[in-house]
Structure formats: structure tokens, C-alpha cells
């Protein structure tokens, strides 16, 4: 069975600082990996995804993530945090191609950005 671990529930950074949100997964087959963002009072929006090919994936709003098979990780980074990045971030894994119905989400991490 697949699973996702997002350690901690809250990360706080200063504006302009590096953002690093950690995600580790377990999967019995090569996974599809996703990061979603949820702004207050909104639904989830796809930030980026890894399916096959290049392991460094670039997404919207300057975010990127790197798939590291040996570490079973898919950490999300952004070089310089902006106030508008404050939101909740969810990592998700899918084992079956095209199987959105089998997406397993992590608990989410709340990102706060200090002025």
C-alpha cells in the first residue's frame, strides 16, 4: 500500500528565505508524485507533478521538487518565500498510471511567511 509522510504540521519562514517542505512516500511500484496547495477558503490547486523523465520538476509560482528514488523523497522548495506563499501544502502519491482515484494525500503542512 502506498503512503505519504509529511513531517511536522507547520513551517514558518521569513520573506525572502528558502522554503523547504519535506515529503517522503512509500510505494510498491514507481510512483506518480504531486504537490497541491490550498489557500485559505479555497480548494486544492496543483503546484507540480512528477510522472516520468526528469527528476527535477518545476511548477507554478517558482516552486520546484526533486524526485529522489533512493531516498523515497519528493521535497518541495522555493528559493525565496513571498507573503503570498502562505498556505497549506499537500504531497500526494499515486501508484497506478492515470489513477487519480488512487491518490493518497499526506496530512499537509501549513506554511507561514513572516514579514
Partner 1 sequence: ETGVTQTPRHLVMGMTNKKSLKCEQHLGHNAMYWYKQSAKKPLELMFVYNFKEQTENNSVPSRFSPECPNSSHLFLHLHTLQPEDSALYLCASSQELAGGTNTGELFFGEGSRLTVL
Contact residue for partner 1 among 2, 11, 17, 44 (CB under 8 A) = 44
- Which DSSP letter does residue 30 get? P
Between 81 and 93, whose beta carbon lies closer to partner 1? Answer: 93
Q: Decide if residue 108 touches partner 1 (CB under 8 A).
A: yes
Tell whether residue 60 is a contact of partner 1 (CB under 8 A).
Answer: no
Residues 78, 96: Cα–Cα separation, whole Å: 28
Do 76 and 91 meet the contact criterion of CB atoms below 8 Å apart? yes
Nearer to partner 1, 34 or 81 (CB): 34
In angstroms, the Cα distances linking 86 to 11, 26, 51, 101, 112 are: 10, 27, 26, 28, 5
CB 39 within 8 A of CB 87: yes
Select 34 or 74, whichever has its Cβ closest to partner 1: 34
Binding site for partner 1 (CB under 8 A): 4, 9, 32, 34, 36, 41-46, 49, 51, 90, 94, 96-101, 103-108
Amino acid at each position: 500500500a502506498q503512503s505519504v509522510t509529511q513531517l511536522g504540521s507547520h513551517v514558518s519562514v521569513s520573506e525572502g528565505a528558502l522554503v523547504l517542505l519535506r515529503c517522503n512516500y512509500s510505494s510498491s511500484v514507481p510512483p506518480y508524485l504531486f504537490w497541491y496547495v490550498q489557500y485559505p477558503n479555497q480548494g486544492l490547486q496543483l503546484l507540480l507533478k512528477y510522472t516520468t523523465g526528469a527528476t527535477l520538476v518545476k511548477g507554478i509560482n517558482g516552486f520546484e521538487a526533486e524526485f529522489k528514488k533512493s531516498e523515497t523523497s519528493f521535497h518541495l522548495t522555493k528559493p525565496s518565500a513571498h507573503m503570498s506563499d502562505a498556505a497549506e501544502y499537500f504531497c500526494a502519491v499515486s501508484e497506478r498510471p492515470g489513477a487519480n482515484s488512487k491518490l493518497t494525500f499526506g496530512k499537509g503542512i501549513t506554511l507561514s511567511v513572516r514579514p
